Every structure is written in structure tokens, then in C-alpha cells.
């Protein structure tokens, strides 16, 4: 263990520079997030992840944000275990009928001000699952969405871009 | 899935459980190929196995790290996370997608390996071979970690056999089943590998199955790269109008995925995708019995059953 720790001390960090923010996402966010609310939160956001019926591909990439290369916490972003502690709901999946009520209740349990980020193509409009008897199709059909991050699944850098846009719009 | 074209159905199959997308696409392709009796080009068969083993590596790294993390040993989690990320990046650069979604298709693979990829994957193997043994040593020699994993969450071999549990759950409890050997599918009949089996059935044994499988996958990828045949990567698939049925199997990192499908009028009429978790979730309940609450995360993570694959 000492050798691994020592090597880590001597080596340059693996963590990569922050990605450049995305204009398209900035435009979508512009209307929905007020400056005042953002000031109140400072530079820190607590994120609650909600799997509303995804294939777990999005979760894998969201999980990757915590690894040494992306190191999400350096931006003041961290995941929490309850919507009561959250500022942001990160919702994945086409919203299956089974998860609809759970998503609504999670949204209602999250204190204001709050934002909803829909992650992945399924979360936009049901994606490949749209039209299925088992899905509602798209997060915005159930709760208001402030930002969409597309991709199947979106890569960690795309997720990071979206979340940073939320944090520092300028 | 009912009424879907073969293309759409293959994409849907690959999204049953995103972490096993290669295995699902492979099992689905096997089912389609059995239904309409087509021969897949040898290069495609090798490329499929390359992807399947990369997927197994990435997931096993993730799991080994995550199990240790649940015992609050975050160093392993961080180091395994690095190996996982490097594997996914190699997948991205060789197959155009970090999880390699939609690359395995009925009839072959959708994308060939670029010229620089063989060297790139070989470099990844070398890097893993350097770092991974250190992590295994760390796992094996940390008493506080062993204290949490050894004798925790024991699954009796009898129960594993009764439920037909596959993957690391079965193989850590003496059930030596691996779909790559039985019934077996190419190219594994031409490759040399072992199926590691442990008897203890505890969290520790499930970690060790993964460790040994990482080593086997590294060896397999080496063999695949050396033996990679030249030639076509895909044959055209004509589902025809007749009613046809096919059964396919593939070994995912979690266990055997089984796909049954029926074609009618060139489209998928019915399809069932059986996740390995079907036979593992009920056993988790048996395994946690008599364990302290703090060990539940360890038991759960060592099973790592799929939610999406099981409860669509």
C-alpha cells in the first residue's frame, strides 16, 4: 500500500482540465436559472441521481465522474443520498410507468430552489424506448426540466460540461 | 420489441442492461443467426470476443473497486477506477463507443478495428499487467479489508446449483458453469482459458473469481489479438418472410445471458431476454441472512445484480 501511495505522490495527477462550456446548453439554461438563486448556492451543488428506468448505461458514465480523471468534487459538485439534501436532480431513463410516481415524489421532496437535469437520449423523449407500453417517454412529461444532456449514454466530459454550465453560467 | 425491425431490436437488446451491452447484443445476434442459419465471418467472431472481454475487464475492475469501497477502502476503488476508465477509453478509440454499444450486430460487427488499435489494446494489456498484481497483493494483504470480506455473505453451493446461478455468484460457490465453455460458442473453442471456481461462497470468493477472470480475460485478449483473422466483418442478413425461431446465449461479466426470439414477416414477433440476475437476486436474500447490517452493502455489491436487466 505504501508503494502505491508513494507512487501517487510522485506522479502527476491524472485529473484532466475542465471542459469548455457548451453554448447550446447555456442557451437552454439562460431562461430557467436566475442569477440570484445561483448566488445563494455559491459554487456548490448537491446532486441526487434518479434512475427512472434507464438501462444503467447513463449511471455508469455518471459514476465515472467520480474517478480520478474527471474528479467531480473539485468543482464543488457532489452526490447525496437523499432528495432532501439535493439542489439538482439528475434524472436518467425514459421514465417507466413504474417509476413515474417515484420521480414525482422525489421532485416534491427536493427543497427549492432546485433544478432538474435530464441525462441521456431516453430522458429527452423516451429515446429508443418511446412508444413502448411501459414508458411515459421523457422526463419533461413528468417534472419540469431545466437542462438536457444528450447522448446514449453521454460521455463523462459531456456530463461535466452540462453540470458546469449549471454552476457558472458566464 | 414486438414488431421491431432487426436493427431496432438489436439496439434494444443492447440496452437491456447497459453494463452488459456487448453480451446482450451478442446473445441476440446468436439467436438471430440460429434462427436464419447464417455463418458469421471469422474476423467478426474474434472482434466480438475482443469486445466481450474488454467489457468483462471494465466491469470487473469497477466491481472489485466498488466492493472494497463499501468496506471504506477507497484506495482500491480509486485505483480500480483508473483501470476501468483506461479500458473504456481504449474501447472508445477502437470501437467508437466507451461501452461499445451497437457494434455487435446480427451477421457480424458494425465496425472494424483500425490499424493502430492492436497496438493500443496491447499497450492497455501491458499497463494492466503492471498495475493489477499490485492491487491484488494489496487486497490480499490488508487485514482490515479481509476481515470484512472473508466469511461474509456465504452462499451455499447447494443453493447456487438449485437456482442455476451463473457468473461469479455461481462460480464462487462451486458451480463451474460458463456459457463460453458450455454450450460454448466460437471463438472460445479455439482459445485457451480456464474458468476459475471457488468453493467458499463468501464475498471474498466472489472477489477472487473476478480477480482470476481479469487475468483470464487479459490472456484471452492477447490470444485474440495474435490470432485475429483477416477478411470480412459482416454478412448481410435476410430475415425472409417465414416464421423462424432462435435461441442464443452469451457469457456476460455477470453470468449467462439467454435470448429467445421469433421472427415473423422479417420482423421480431416475440423476444425474451433473460438476465443472469434472475437467478441471483433471490439468492442475495439468502446470503444476507445472519449478517450484520453494515455488511449488506458488501453482500449486495459482490452480487452486483442488474436492476434494469431484471425489472424492465
Q: How many CB atoms lie within 10 A of CB A146?
A: 18
| B68-88 tens-digit pLDDT | 999 999 999 999 999 999 999
Which of the residues B138, B308, B310 would you substitute to probe the A interface, choosing the one with the greatest number of A C-beta atoms within 10 Å?
B308
Q: How far apart (Å, rounded) are the C-alpha atoms in residues A54 and A121?
A: 10
Q: What is the CA radius of gyration of chain B?
A: 19
> Which residues of chain B lie closer than 8 angstroms to A65, CB-CB?
none
How far out from the chain centre does Cα B263 lie?
26
**DSSP state for residue A2 in the 8-state scheme:** H
Q: What is the residue-wise DSSP string for A62-73?
A: HHHTTSTTT-GG
With an 8 Å Cβ cutoff, are A56 and B307 in contact?
A: yes
- In this prediction, residues A35-51 reach a mean pLDDT of 77
pLDDT tens digits, B88-143: 999 999 999 999 999 999 999 999 998 899 999 999 999 999 999 999 999 999 99
Query: How far does Cα B21 stand from its chain's mean position?
Result: 9
Cβ-nearest to A153 among B17, B18, B306: B18
CATH code of A21-33+43-167, in short, is 3.40.50.12280
Whether chain A has a CB inside 8 Å of the CB on B127: the answer is: no
Of A61, A63, A128, the CB nearest to B12: A128
Taking CA–CA distances from A58, the nearest residue in chain B reads: B18
Q: Does B98 touch chain A (CB under 8 A)?
A: yes
Q: What is the CATH number of domain B6-152+179-193+221-276?
A: 1.10.645.10
| Grid coordinates belonging to A27 | 442557451
**What is the mean predicted confidence (pLDDT) over A67-93?**
94
Q: Which of B75, B84, B308 lies nearest to residue A54, judging by beta carbons?
A: B308
ipTM of the complex: 0.94
CB B53 within 8 A of CB B221: yes
Task: Tell me the chain A residues in contact with residue B101 when contact means C-beta distances shorter than 8 Å.
Answer: 57, 152
Whether the pLDDT of residue B146 is over 70: the answer is yes
Those of residues 136-195 in B touching chain A at CB distance below 8 A are 138, 142
pTM here is: 0.94
- In chain A, where are the structural domains located? 21-33+43-167
pLDDT-based confidence at residue A37 (cuts at 50, 70, 90) = low
Amino acid at each position: 500500500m505504501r508503494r502505491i501511495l508513494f507512487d501517487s505522490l510522485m506522479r502527476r495527477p491524472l485529473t484532466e482540465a475542465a471542459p469548455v462550456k457548451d453554448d447550446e446548453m447555456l442557451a437552454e439554461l439562460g431562461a430557467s436559472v436566475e442569477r440570484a438563486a445561483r448566488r445563494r448556492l455559491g459554487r456548490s451543488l448537491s446532486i441526487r441521481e434518479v434512475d427512472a428506468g434507464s438501462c444503467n448505461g447513463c449511471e455508469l458514465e455518471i459514476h465515472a465522474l467520480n474517478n480520478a480523471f474527471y474528479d467531480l468534487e473539485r468543482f464543488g459538485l457532489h452526490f447525496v443520498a437523499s432528495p432532501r439534501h439535493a439542489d439538482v436532480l439528475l434524472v436518467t431513463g425514459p421514465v417507466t410507468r413504474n417509476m413515474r410516481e417515484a420521480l414525482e415524489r422525489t421532485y416534491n421532496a427536493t427543497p427549492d430552489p432546485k433544478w432538474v437535469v435530464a441525462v441521456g437520449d431516453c430522458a429527452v423523449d423516451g429515446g429508443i424506448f418511446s412508444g413502448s407500453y411501459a414508458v411515459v417517454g421523457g422526463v419533461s412529461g413528468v417534472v419540469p426540466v431545466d437542462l438536457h444532456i444528450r447522448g446514449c449514454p453521454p460521455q463523462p466530459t459531456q456530463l461535466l460540461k452540462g453540470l458546469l454550465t449549471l454552476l457558472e453560467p458566464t | 420489441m414486438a414488431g421491431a425491425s432487426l436493427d431496432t431490436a438489436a439496439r434494444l437488446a443492447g440496452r437491456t442492461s447497459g453494463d452488459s451491452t456487448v453480451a446482450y447484443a451478442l446473445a441476440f445476434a446468436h439467436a438471430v443467426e440460429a434462427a436464419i442459419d447464417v455463418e458469421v465471418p471469422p474476423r467478426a467472431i474474434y472482434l466480438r470476443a475482443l469486445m466481450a472481454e474488454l467489457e468483462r475487464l471494465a466491469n470487473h475492475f469497477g466491481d472489485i473497486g466498488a466492493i472494497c469501497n463499501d468496506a471504506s477502502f477507497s484506495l482500491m476503488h480509486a485505483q480500480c477506477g483508473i483501470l476501468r476508465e483506461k479500458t473504456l477509453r481504449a474501447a472508445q478509440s477502437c470501437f467508437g463507443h466507451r461501452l461499445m454499444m451497437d457494434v455487435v450486430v446480427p451477421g457480424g460487427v458494425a465496425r472494424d478495428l483500425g490499424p493502430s488499435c492492436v497496438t493500443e489494446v496491447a499497450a492497455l494489456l501491458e499497463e494492466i499487467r503492471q498495475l493489477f498484481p499490485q492491487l491484488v497483493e494489496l487486497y490480499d494483504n490488508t487485514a482490515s479489508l479481509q476481515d470484512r470480506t472473508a466469511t461474509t455473505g456465504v452462499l451455499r453451493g447447494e443453493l447456487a446449483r438449485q437456482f442455476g446461478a451463473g457468473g461469479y455468484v455461481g462460480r464462487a460457490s462451486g458451480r463451474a458453469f460458463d456459457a463460453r465453455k458450455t454450450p460454448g460458442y466460437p471463438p472460445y473453442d479455439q482459445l485457451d482459458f480456464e474458468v476459475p471456481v471457488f468453493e467458499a461462497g463468501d464475498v471474498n470468493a466472489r472477489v477472487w473469481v473476478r480477480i482470476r477472470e481479469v487475468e483470464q480475460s487479459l490472456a484471452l485478449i492477447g490470444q485474440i489479438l495474435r490470432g485475429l483473422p483477416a477478411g470480412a466483418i459482416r454478412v448481410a442478413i435476410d430475415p425472409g418472410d417465414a416464421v423462424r425461431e432462435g435461441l442464443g446465449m452469451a457469457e456476460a461479466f455477470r453470468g449467462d445471458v439467454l435470448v429467445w426470439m421469433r421472427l415473423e414477416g422479417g420482423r421480431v414477433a416475440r423476444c425474451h431476454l433473460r438476465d443472469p440476475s434472475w437467478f441471483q437476486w433471490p439468492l442475495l436474500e439468502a446470503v444476507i441472512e445472519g449478517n450484520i447490517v453494515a455488511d449488506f452493502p458488501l453482500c449486495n455489491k459482490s452480487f452486483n445484480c442488474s436492476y434494469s436487466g431484471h425489472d424492465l
